[in-house]
Structure 1
Amino acid sequence: MREPFLVQGLASLFLLLYFSTACAETDPRLDLKPTGVSVEWYQHKLDLNVTDVKTNLPGITSAMVDSVKGQLNTTDDVKLANVRLDYQLRPYLNVYGSIGKITDDTQVDFSKLGLGVSDLTVDSKGTAYTVGAILVGKYDRLLPSLQLMHSRIDLEGDGDDVQVNALIPAVGVQTGYGIFNTSLVYQSVKATYSGTVSAPFIGEVPVTVDTENKDDLQVMAGWYGQLGKDLYLSTNVGLNGQKQLQLQLNKRF
Protein backbone atom coordinates (compact mmCIF):
# COMPACT_ATOMS: atom_id res chain seq x y z
CA MET A 1 0.00 0.00 0.00
CA ARG A 2 2.72 2.49 0.90
CA GLU A 3 4.87 2.18 -2.23
CA PRO A 4 2.06 2.81 -4.80
CA PHE A 5 0.88 5.79 -2.77
CA LEU A 6 4.40 7.22 -2.69
CA VAL A 7 4.80 6.77 -6.46
CA GLN A 8 1.47 8.53 -7.05
CA GLY A 9 2.55 11.29 -4.71
CA LEU A 10 5.82 11.87 -6.54
CA ALA A 11 3.95 11.96 -9.84
CA SER A 12 1.62 14.55 -8.34
CA LEU A 13 4.65 16.54 -7.19
CA PHE A 14 5.96 16.92 -10.74
CA LEU A 15 2.49 17.75 -12.09
CA LEU A 16 1.99 20.38 -9.42
CA LEU A 17 5.42 21.86 -10.12
CA TYR A 18 4.44 22.27 -13.80
CA PHE A 19 1.03 23.67 -12.86
CA SER A 20 2.46 26.04 -10.25
CA THR A 21 5.09 27.40 -12.65
CA ALA A 22 2.40 28.17 -15.20
CA CYS A 23 0.30 29.98 -12.58
CA ALA A 24 3.11 31.74 -10.69
CA GLU A 25 2.08 35.22 -11.81
CA THR A 26 -1.19 34.95 -9.90
CA ASP A 27 0.13 33.09 -6.88
CA PRO A 28 -1.02 34.77 -3.61
CA ARG A 29 2.37 34.19 -1.98
CA LEU A 30 4.01 36.72 -4.27
CA ASP A 31 3.30 39.45 -1.71
CA LEU A 32 5.11 37.57 1.08
CA LYS A 33 8.62 38.58 2.01
CA PRO A 34 10.99 35.72 1.07
CA THR A 35 12.36 34.75 4.50
CA GLY A 36 10.33 33.51 7.44
CA VAL A 37 11.04 32.59 11.04
CA SER A 38 8.41 30.60 12.91
CA VAL A 39 7.69 29.15 16.30
CA GLU A 40 5.63 25.97 16.15
CA TRP A 41 3.70 23.71 18.51
CA TYR A 42 2.76 20.20 17.42
CA GLN A 43 1.23 17.30 19.30
CA HIS A 44 -0.30 13.96 18.45
CA LYS A 45 -1.50 10.74 20.02
CA LEU A 46 -1.23 7.92 17.48
CA ASP A 47 -1.56 4.15 17.51
CA LEU A 48 1.54 2.13 16.54
CA ASN A 49 2.10 -1.42 15.32
CA VAL A 50 4.90 -3.50 16.82
CA THR A 51 7.10 -4.95 14.07
CA ASP A 52 9.87 -6.55 16.16
CA VAL A 53 10.71 -7.25 19.80
CA LYS A 54 14.15 -8.01 21.21
CA THR A 55 14.18 -9.36 24.78
CA ASN A 56 15.55 -12.17 26.96
CA LEU A 57 12.40 -12.54 29.02
CA PRO A 58 12.52 -16.10 30.48
CA GLY A 59 9.75 -18.34 29.26
CA ILE A 60 8.89 -16.05 26.36
CA THR A 61 10.18 -17.36 23.04
CA SER A 62 10.55 -15.48 19.76
CA ALA A 63 7.73 -17.57 18.32
CA MET A 64 5.44 -16.51 21.16
CA VAL A 65 6.33 -12.85 20.62
CA ASP A 66 5.75 -13.15 16.86
CA SER A 67 2.36 -14.74 17.43
CA VAL A 68 1.07 -11.93 19.64
CA LYS A 69 2.99 -8.81 18.55
CA GLY A 70 0.06 -7.76 16.41
CA GLN A 71 -2.02 -7.62 19.59
CA LEU A 72 0.46 -5.49 21.55
CA ASN A 73 -1.56 -2.29 21.67
CA THR A 74 0.87 0.62 21.46
CA THR A 75 0.22 4.35 21.77
CA ASP A 76 2.58 7.23 21.09
CA ASP A 77 1.94 10.61 22.73
CA VAL A 78 4.20 13.36 21.34
CA LYS A 79 4.57 17.05 22.12
CA LEU A 80 6.99 19.15 20.07
CA ALA A 81 8.12 22.80 20.21
CA ASN A 82 9.99 23.96 17.08
CA VAL A 83 11.89 26.93 15.71
CA ARG A 84 11.63 26.97 11.93
CA LEU A 85 13.41 28.90 9.17
CA ASP A 86 11.94 28.98 5.66
CA TYR A 87 12.85 30.64 2.38
CA GLN A 88 10.78 31.22 -0.73
CA LEU A 89 12.99 30.09 -3.62
CA ARG A 90 10.23 30.80 -6.16
CA PRO A 91 6.72 32.25 -5.80
CA TYR A 92 5.46 28.66 -5.89
CA LEU A 93 8.29 26.89 -3.98
CA ASN A 94 9.15 27.24 -0.31
CA VAL A 95 11.84 25.23 1.50
CA TYR A 96 12.29 25.00 5.25
CA GLY A 97 14.22 23.47 8.10
CA SER A 98 13.46 23.30 11.80
CA ILE A 99 14.87 22.12 15.10
CA GLY A 100 12.87 21.49 18.23
CA LYS A 101 12.55 19.82 21.60
CA ILE A 102 10.26 16.84 21.92
CA THR A 103 8.69 14.73 24.65
CA ASP A 104 7.63 11.24 23.60
CA ASP A 105 5.54 9.04 25.90
CA THR A 106 5.04 5.52 24.53
CA GLN A 107 3.32 2.50 26.05
CA VAL A 108 3.44 -1.08 24.74
CA ASP A 109 0.90 -3.55 26.18
CA PHE A 110 3.32 -6.35 27.13
CA SER A 111 0.93 -7.66 29.79
CA LYS A 112 -0.67 -9.69 26.95
CA LEU A 113 2.44 -11.91 26.88
CA GLY A 114 1.79 -13.56 30.20
CA LEU A 115 0.48 -13.25 33.72
CA GLY A 116 2.51 -10.83 35.78
CA VAL A 117 4.47 -9.24 32.92
CA SER A 118 4.25 -5.46 33.02
CA ASP A 119 3.68 -3.08 30.13
CA LEU A 120 6.63 -1.23 28.60
CA THR A 121 6.42 2.47 29.33
CA VAL A 122 9.00 4.82 27.80
CA ASP A 123 9.01 8.50 28.69
CA SER A 124 11.67 10.19 26.57
CA LYS A 125 12.90 13.63 25.68
CA GLY A 126 14.99 14.53 22.67
CA THR A 127 15.67 16.73 19.68
CA ALA A 128 13.81 16.76 16.36
CA TYR A 129 15.38 17.85 13.06
CA THR A 130 13.10 18.47 10.07
CA VAL A 131 13.56 19.53 6.44
CA GLY A 132 10.90 19.95 3.80
CA ALA A 133 9.53 21.71 0.75
CA ILE A 134 6.11 23.06 -0.22
CA LEU A 135 4.79 23.62 -3.74
CA VAL A 136 1.78 25.92 -4.14
CA GLY A 137 -0.41 26.70 -7.16
CA LYS A 138 -3.45 28.88 -7.73
CA TYR A 139 -6.66 28.51 -9.70
CA ASP A 140 -9.03 31.37 -8.96
CA ARG A 141 -9.63 31.08 -5.19
CA LEU A 142 -8.41 27.47 -4.98
CA LEU A 143 -4.86 26.88 -3.74
CA PRO A 144 -3.57 23.33 -4.35
CA SER A 145 -0.33 22.45 -2.60
CA LEU A 146 1.97 19.54 -1.98
CA GLN A 147 4.42 19.21 0.90
CA LEU A 148 7.29 16.76 1.34
CA MET A 149 8.83 16.41 4.81
CA HIS A 150 11.51 14.34 6.51
CA SER A 151 12.18 14.32 10.27
CA ARG A 152 14.80 12.61 12.40
CA ILE A 153 14.18 12.49 16.13
CA ASP A 154 17.02 11.64 18.50
CA LEU A 155 15.65 10.48 21.85
CA GLU A 156 17.63 10.25 25.06
CA GLY A 157 17.31 6.47 25.42
CA ASP A 158 20.19 4.28 24.23
CA GLY A 159 19.35 3.26 20.65
CA ASP A 160 16.01 5.08 20.65
CA ASP A 161 15.30 6.97 17.45
CA VAL A 162 12.38 7.95 15.23
CA GLN A 163 12.25 8.56 11.46
CA VAL A 164 9.24 10.31 9.90
CA ASN A 165 8.50 10.84 6.21
CA ALA A 166 5.36 12.65 5.12
CA LEU A 167 3.65 13.52 1.85
CA ILE A 168 0.86 16.07 2.27
CA PRO A 169 -1.41 17.09 -0.63
CA ALA A 170 -3.82 19.86 0.34
CA VAL A 171 -6.40 22.21 -1.14
CA GLY A 172 -7.09 25.66 0.30
CA VAL A 173 -9.86 28.15 -0.40
CA GLN A 174 -9.01 31.86 -0.23
CA THR A 175 -11.69 33.89 1.58
CA GLY A 176 -12.02 37.29 3.19
CA TYR A 177 -11.31 35.60 6.51
CA GLY A 178 -8.08 33.87 5.50
CA ILE A 179 -7.38 30.56 3.79
CA PHE A 180 -9.29 27.45 4.86
CA ASN A 181 -7.77 24.13 3.82
CA THR A 182 -8.10 20.38 4.02
CA SER A 183 -5.19 17.97 3.66
CA LEU A 184 -4.38 14.28 3.46
CA VAL A 185 -1.29 13.41 5.47
CA TYR A 186 0.45 10.26 4.27
CA GLN A 187 2.91 9.54 7.04
CA SER A 188 5.48 6.78 7.48
CA VAL A 189 6.79 6.58 11.06
CA LYS A 190 9.57 4.17 12.06
CA ALA A 191 10.40 4.25 15.77
CA THR A 192 12.61 2.19 18.09
CA TYR A 193 12.11 2.29 21.86
CA SER A 194 14.16 0.69 24.62
CA GLY A 195 13.14 0.14 28.22
CA THR A 196 12.39 -2.55 30.78
CA VAL A 197 9.46 -4.74 31.76
CA SER A 198 9.09 -6.52 35.06
CA ALA A 199 8.23 -10.20 35.49
CA PRO A 200 7.56 -12.32 38.60
CA PHE A 201 10.65 -13.59 40.45
CA ILE A 202 13.18 -12.15 37.93
CA GLY A 203 12.49 -8.43 38.20
CA GLU A 204 13.44 -5.97 35.44
CA VAL A 205 14.22 -7.25 31.93
CA PRO A 206 15.56 -5.03 29.08
CA VAL A 207 13.34 -4.82 26.01
CA THR A 208 13.77 -3.12 22.61
CA VAL A 209 10.71 -2.62 20.41
CA ASP A 210 10.53 -1.60 16.73
CA THR A 211 7.29 0.07 15.69
CA GLU A 212 5.56 1.79 12.80
CA ASN A 213 2.44 3.92 12.59
CA LYS A 214 -0.81 1.94 12.44
CA ASP A 215 -2.66 4.36 10.15
CA ASP A 216 -0.80 5.61 7.08
CA LEU A 217 -3.30 8.34 6.27
CA GLN A 218 -4.69 11.15 8.39
CA VAL A 219 -7.20 13.81 7.40
CA MET A 220 -6.61 17.34 8.67
CA ALA A 221 -8.30 20.72 8.39
CA GLY A 222 -6.70 24.11 8.89
CA TRP A 223 -6.73 27.88 8.63
CA TYR A 224 -4.06 30.37 7.55
CA GLY A 225 -4.34 34.12 8.00
CA GLN A 226 -2.55 37.39 8.63
CA LEU A 227 -2.45 38.74 12.18
CA GLY A 228 -0.44 41.90 11.51
CA LYS A 229 2.26 43.38 9.32
CA ASP A 230 4.34 40.44 8.02
CA LEU A 231 2.91 38.23 10.81
CA TYR A 232 0.89 35.10 10.00
CA LEU A 233 -0.80 32.27 11.91
CA SER A 234 -1.61 28.76 10.67
CA THR A 235 -3.48 26.02 12.51
CA ASN A 236 -4.27 22.39 11.68
CA VAL A 237 -6.29 19.72 13.52
CA GLY A 238 -6.83 16.01 12.86
CA LEU A 239 -10.30 14.86 11.78
CA ASN A 240 -10.21 11.06 11.54
CA GLY A 241 -9.79 9.96 15.13
CA GLN A 242 -6.06 10.70 15.31
CA LYS A 243 -5.42 13.39 17.91
CA GLN A 244 -3.27 15.95 16.12
CA LEU A 245 -2.80 19.69 16.58
CA GLN A 246 -0.36 22.06 14.88
CA LEU A 247 0.07 25.80 15.49
CA GLN A 248 2.58 28.02 13.71
CA LEU A 249 3.30 31.73 14.16
CA ASN A 250 5.34 33.03 11.21
CA LYS A 251 7.18 36.34 10.83
CA ARG A 252 8.34 37.39 7.33
CA PHE A 253 11.50 39.40 6.60
Structure 2
Amino acid sequence: MKYLIPVFVFFLSTMCLAQKPVEKTLLWEIKGNGLTSSSWLYGTYHMACADELKVDSAITHAFAATQQLYLELDLSDPTLQLQSLKWMGMANKQRLQDLLSPADFDSVCVLFKQKTGYALRPMQNTKPIILSSLLYPALMKCTPEGWEQIFLKMAKERNVPVKGLETVAFQMSIFDSIPYKDQAISFMQSLYHFDSVQKASSKLVEMYQSKDLDKMQSEITEDPDLGKYASLLLYQRNQNWVPIIEEQARQQPTFFAVGAGHLGGNSGVIALLRQKGYTVTPVFY
Protein backbone atom coordinates (compact mmCIF):
# COMPACT_ATOMS: atom_id res chain seq x y z
CA MET A 1 0.00 0.00 0.00
CA LYS A 2 2.88 2.30 -0.88
CA TYR A 3 0.64 5.14 -2.10
CA LEU A 4 -1.93 5.04 0.70
CA ILE A 5 -0.88 8.33 2.32
CA PRO A 6 -0.75 10.54 -0.79
CA VAL A 7 -3.73 8.88 -2.43
CA PHE A 8 -5.85 9.12 0.67
CA VAL A 9 -6.01 12.98 0.42
CA PHE A 10 -8.47 12.28 -2.49
CA PHE A 11 -9.70 11.69 0.09
CA LEU A 12 -10.51 8.10 -1.53
CA SER A 13 -20.79 -0.53 -10.39
CA THR A 14 -19.72 -0.87 -13.91
CA MET A 15 -20.54 2.09 -16.11
CA CYS A 16 -20.48 2.85 -19.81
CA LEU A 17 -17.05 4.17 -20.78
CA ALA A 18 -18.65 7.12 -22.53
CA GLN A 19 -19.89 8.37 -19.16
CA LYS A 20 -16.53 9.00 -17.55
CA PRO A 21 -14.99 12.49 -17.79
CA VAL A 22 -11.90 12.88 -19.96
CA GLU A 23 -11.63 16.68 -20.03
CA LYS A 24 -8.91 18.26 -17.88
CA THR A 25 -10.69 20.50 -15.40
CA LEU A 26 -11.76 20.43 -11.76
CA LEU A 27 -14.93 22.53 -12.13
CA TRP A 28 -18.13 21.06 -13.60
CA GLU A 29 -21.63 22.41 -14.19
CA ILE A 30 -24.62 20.20 -13.37
CA LYS A 31 -27.82 20.94 -15.30
CA GLY A 32 -30.70 19.30 -17.15
CA ASN A 33 -32.96 16.45 -16.06
CA GLY A 34 -35.55 18.85 -14.68
CA LEU A 35 -33.22 21.18 -12.80
CA THR A 36 -34.44 24.77 -12.89
CA SER A 37 -30.93 26.17 -12.31
CA SER A 38 -27.37 24.91 -12.52
CA SER A 39 -25.35 23.54 -9.64
CA TRP A 40 -21.59 23.11 -9.60
CA LEU A 41 -19.16 20.36 -8.72
CA TYR A 42 -15.51 20.96 -7.81
CA GLY A 43 -12.74 18.44 -7.20
CA THR A 44 -10.64 19.44 -4.20
CA TYR A 45 -7.26 18.44 -2.86
CA HIS A 46 -7.61 18.10 0.89
CA MET A 47 -4.01 19.00 1.69
CA ALA A 48 -1.97 21.45 -0.36
CA CYS A 49 0.56 24.23 0.11
CA ALA A 50 -0.94 27.71 0.29
CA ASP A 51 0.61 28.86 -3.01
CA GLU A 52 -1.17 26.01 -4.82
CA LEU A 53 -4.63 27.22 -3.79
CA LYS A 54 -5.66 29.94 -6.21
CA VAL A 55 -9.30 30.90 -6.69
CA ASP A 56 -9.89 31.47 -10.38
CA SER A 57 -12.60 33.83 -11.63
CA ALA A 58 -14.53 30.85 -13.01
CA ILE A 59 -14.69 29.36 -9.51
CA THR A 60 -15.75 32.70 -8.04
CA HIS A 61 -18.48 33.05 -10.67
CA ALA A 62 -19.82 29.55 -10.09
CA PHE A 63 -19.78 29.98 -6.30
CA ALA A 64 -21.62 33.31 -6.55
CA ALA A 65 -24.38 31.61 -8.56
CA THR A 66 -25.19 29.15 -5.77
CA GLN A 67 -27.12 29.39 -2.52
CA GLN A 68 -25.45 26.74 -0.37
CA LEU A 69 -22.16 24.86 -0.02
CA TYR A 70 -21.89 21.10 0.37
CA LEU A 71 -18.58 19.56 1.48
CA GLU A 72 -17.84 15.96 2.40
CA LEU A 73 -18.26 17.04 6.02
CA ASP A 74 -19.98 20.08 7.47
CA LEU A 75 -16.82 21.90 8.50
CA SER A 76 -18.85 24.76 9.94
CA ASP A 77 -20.14 22.48 12.72
CA PRO A 78 -18.56 23.70 16.00
CA THR A 79 -18.74 20.18 17.44
CA LEU A 80 -16.77 18.63 14.58
CA GLN A 81 -13.46 18.46 16.44
CA LEU A 82 -15.02 16.80 19.47
CA GLN A 83 -16.79 14.30 17.22
CA SER A 84 -13.51 13.50 15.47
CA LEU A 85 -11.71 12.90 18.76
CA LYS A 86 -14.46 10.50 19.80
CA TRP A 87 -13.93 8.24 16.78
CA MET A 88 -10.16 8.47 16.24
CA GLY A 89 -9.25 5.47 18.39
CA MET A 90 -9.05 1.87 17.24
CA ALA A 91 -11.81 -0.45 18.39
CA ASN A 92 -11.30 -2.77 21.37
CA LYS A 93 -8.51 -0.53 22.69
CA GLN A 94 -6.03 -1.90 20.20
CA ARG A 95 -2.61 -0.24 20.09
CA LEU A 96 -0.04 0.23 17.39
CA GLN A 97 2.53 -1.74 19.37
CA ASP A 98 0.17 -4.73 19.24
CA LEU A 99 0.21 -4.61 15.42
CA LEU A 100 3.97 -4.34 14.86
CA SER A 101 6.98 -6.24 16.09
CA PRO A 102 8.76 -4.67 19.10
CA ALA A 103 11.71 -3.68 16.93
CA ASP A 104 9.51 -2.12 14.26
CA PHE A 105 7.42 -0.27 16.83
CA ASP A 106 10.54 1.23 18.43
CA SER A 107 11.85 2.29 15.02
CA VAL A 108 8.52 3.80 14.03
CA CYS A 109 8.40 5.82 17.26
CA VAL A 110 11.84 7.29 16.53
CA LEU A 111 11.08 8.08 12.88
CA PHE A 112 7.67 9.55 13.68
CA LYS A 113 9.23 11.88 16.26
CA GLN A 114 11.86 12.97 13.72
CA LYS A 115 9.28 13.75 11.03
CA THR A 116 6.52 15.31 13.11
CA GLY A 117 8.02 16.39 16.43
CA TYR A 118 5.32 14.37 18.25
CA ALA A 119 5.79 11.45 20.62
CA LEU A 120 3.96 8.45 19.18
CA ARG A 121 3.46 6.31 22.28
CA PRO A 122 0.71 8.51 23.81
CA MET A 123 -1.19 8.36 20.50
CA GLN A 124 -0.79 4.69 19.65
CA ASN A 125 -4.47 3.86 20.11
CA THR A 126 -5.22 6.22 17.20
CA LYS A 127 -6.12 4.59 13.89
CA PRO A 128 -2.86 4.26 11.92
CA ILE A 129 -4.38 5.84 8.82
CA ILE A 130 -5.02 8.98 10.90
CA LEU A 131 -1.49 8.92 12.29
CA SER A 132 -0.36 8.89 8.66
CA SER A 133 -2.06 12.23 8.09
CA LEU A 134 0.28 13.82 10.64
CA LEU A 135 3.12 13.18 8.20
CA TYR A 136 1.67 15.57 5.60
CA PRO A 137 3.64 18.70 6.65
CA ALA A 138 6.93 16.79 6.40
CA LEU A 139 5.87 15.13 3.14
CA MET A 140 4.82 18.41 1.55
CA LYS A 141 7.48 20.62 3.16
CA CYS A 142 4.86 23.22 4.09
CA THR A 143 1.96 23.78 6.46
CA PRO A 144 -0.80 22.14 4.43
CA GLU A 145 -4.13 23.78 3.82
CA GLY A 146 -7.21 22.63 1.92
CA TRP A 147 -9.72 23.92 -0.61
CA GLU A 148 -12.41 23.20 1.92
CA GLN A 149 -11.20 25.99 4.19
CA ILE A 150 -11.19 28.41 1.28
CA PHE A 151 -14.75 27.53 0.32
CA LEU A 152 -15.79 27.68 3.95
CA LYS A 153 -14.45 31.24 4.14
CA MET A 154 -16.23 32.17 0.90
CA ALA A 155 -19.50 30.77 2.29
CA LYS A 156 -19.11 32.75 5.49
CA GLU A 157 -18.49 35.97 3.54
CA ARG A 158 -21.70 35.42 1.57
CA ASN A 159 -23.61 34.10 4.58
CA VAL A 160 -24.66 30.92 2.76
CA PRO A 161 -25.28 27.67 4.66
CA VAL A 162 -22.69 24.91 4.77
CA LYS A 163 -23.68 21.24 4.91
CA GLY A 164 -22.03 17.82 4.69
CA LEU A 165 -22.60 14.80 2.48
CA GLU A 166 -21.71 12.47 5.34
CA THR A 167 -20.88 12.44 9.05
CA VAL A 168 -17.64 12.06 10.98
CA ALA A 169 -18.93 8.81 12.46
CA PHE A 170 -19.47 7.39 8.98
CA GLN A 171 -16.05 8.46 7.73
CA MET A 172 -14.35 6.94 10.75
CA SER A 173 -16.34 3.71 10.30
CA ILE A 174 -14.75 3.38 6.85
CA PHE A 175 -11.32 3.34 8.48
CA ASP A 176 -12.52 0.64 10.86
CA SER A 177 -13.40 -1.47 7.81
CA ILE A 178 -9.78 -1.46 6.65
CA PRO A 179 -7.80 -3.96 8.78
CA TYR A 180 -5.76 -2.14 11.38
CA LYS A 181 -2.83 -4.47 10.62
CA ASP A 182 -2.81 -3.30 6.99
CA GLN A 183 -2.98 0.33 8.13
CA ALA A 184 -0.13 -0.22 10.60
CA ILE A 185 2.13 -1.84 8.03
CA SER A 186 1.42 0.92 5.52
CA PHE A 187 2.18 3.55 8.18
CA MET A 188 5.43 1.77 9.05
CA GLN A 189 6.49 1.39 5.40
CA SER A 190 5.76 5.07 4.77
CA LEU A 191 8.22 6.00 7.50
CA TYR A 192 10.81 3.46 6.36
CA HIS A 193 10.55 4.64 2.74
CA PHE A 194 9.74 8.28 3.34
CA ASP A 195 11.60 9.61 0.29
CA SER A 196 9.63 7.32 -2.04
CA VAL A 197 6.33 8.35 -0.48
CA GLN A 198 7.34 11.99 -0.79
CA LYS A 199 7.99 11.52 -4.51
CA ALA A 200 4.63 9.77 -4.94
CA SER A 201 2.93 12.64 -3.10
CA SER A 202 4.59 15.19 -5.39
CA LYS A 203 3.48 13.17 -8.41
CA LEU A 204 -0.14 13.28 -7.28
CA VAL A 205 0.08 17.02 -6.66
CA GLU A 206 1.35 17.46 -10.22
CA MET A 207 -1.56 15.37 -11.53
CA TYR A 208 -3.98 17.50 -9.55
CA GLN A 209 -2.45 20.71 -10.83
CA SER A 210 -2.79 19.39 -14.38
CA LYS A 211 -6.52 18.80 -13.62
CA ASP A 212 -6.31 15.29 -15.09
CA LEU A 213 -9.11 13.42 -13.29
CA ASP A 214 -8.74 10.35 -15.51
CA LYS A 215 -5.04 10.00 -14.72
CA MET A 216 -5.63 10.51 -11.00
CA GLN A 217 -8.30 7.82 -11.03
CA SER A 218 -5.97 5.39 -12.80
CA GLU A 219 -3.25 6.05 -10.24
CA ILE A 220 -5.65 5.04 -7.48
CA THR A 221 -7.21 1.97 -9.05
CA GLU A 222 -3.96 0.56 -10.45
CA ASP A 223 -2.19 0.58 -7.10
CA PRO A 224 -1.95 -3.15 -6.21
CA ASP A 225 -2.68 -2.61 -2.51
CA LEU A 226 -4.99 0.39 -2.42
CA GLY A 227 -7.16 -1.15 -5.14
CA LYS A 228 -8.54 -3.55 -2.54
CA TYR A 229 -10.09 -0.64 -0.65
CA ALA A 230 -11.12 1.64 -3.52
CA SER A 231 -14.72 0.48 -3.15
CA LEU A 232 -14.78 1.49 0.53
CA LEU A 233 -12.90 4.75 0.16
CA LEU A 234 -14.44 5.92 -3.11
CA TYR A 235 -17.12 4.01 -4.98
CA GLN A 236 -19.59 3.22 -2.21
CA ARG A 237 -19.39 6.79 -0.97
CA ASN A 238 -19.97 8.11 -4.50
CA GLN A 239 -23.13 6.01 -4.69
CA ASN A 240 -24.27 7.42 -1.33
CA TRP A 241 -23.63 11.01 -2.37
CA VAL A 242 -25.43 11.09 -5.71
CA PRO A 243 -29.00 10.98 -4.29
CA ILE A 244 -28.10 13.83 -1.92
CA ILE A 245 -26.60 15.84 -4.77
CA GLU A 246 -29.75 15.25 -6.84
CA GLU A 247 -32.08 16.28 -4.04
CA GLN A 248 -30.16 19.41 -3.10
CA ALA A 249 -29.65 20.52 -6.72
CA ARG A 250 -33.40 20.25 -7.28
CA GLN A 251 -34.10 22.44 -4.26
CA GLN A 252 -31.61 25.23 -4.97
CA PRO A 253 -28.37 25.89 -6.86
CA THR A 254 -25.60 24.30 -4.84
CA PHE A 255 -21.81 24.27 -4.91
CA PHE A 256 -20.52 20.74 -4.18
CA ALA A 257 -16.83 20.38 -3.31
CA VAL A 258 -15.43 16.88 -2.80
CA GLY A 259 -12.06 15.18 -3.20
CA ALA A 260 -10.96 15.07 -6.84
CA GLY A 261 -10.51 11.30 -6.65
CA HIS A 262 -14.29 10.96 -6.34
CA LEU A 263 -15.03 12.64 -9.68
CA GLY A 264 -13.19 10.63 -12.32
CA GLY A 265 -13.59 7.12 -13.69
CA ASN A 266 -16.58 5.01 -14.61
CA SER A 267 -17.79 4.88 -11.00
CA GLY A 268 -17.09 8.52 -10.19
CA VAL A 269 -19.66 11.13 -9.26
CA ILE A 270 -19.66 12.67 -12.74
CA ALA A 271 -20.33 9.35 -14.47
CA LEU A 272 -23.05 8.46 -11.95
CA LEU A 273 -24.82 11.79 -12.45
CA ARG A 274 -24.65 11.41 -16.22
CA GLN A 275 -26.12 7.94 -15.95
CA LYS A 276 -29.02 9.50 -14.02
CA GLY A 277 -29.69 11.80 -16.96
CA TYR A 278 -27.96 14.99 -15.86
CA THR A 279 -25.75 17.03 -18.16
CA VAL A 280 -22.40 17.48 -16.42
CA THR A 281 -20.19 19.75 -18.49
CA PRO A 282 -16.59 20.85 -17.94
CA VAL A 283 -15.78 24.45 -17.13
CA PHE A 284 -12.29 25.28 -18.33
CA TYR A 285 -10.20 27.90 -16.56
Using structure 2 for the length normalisation, give the TM-score. Answer: 0.22
Give the structure with the higher percent strand.
1
**Structure number, greater radius of gyration:** 1
Using structure 1 for the length normalisation, give the TM-score. Answer: 0.24
- Bigger relative contact order, structure 1 or 2 (CA pairs below 8 A, ≥6 apart): 2
Give the structure with the higher percent helix.
2
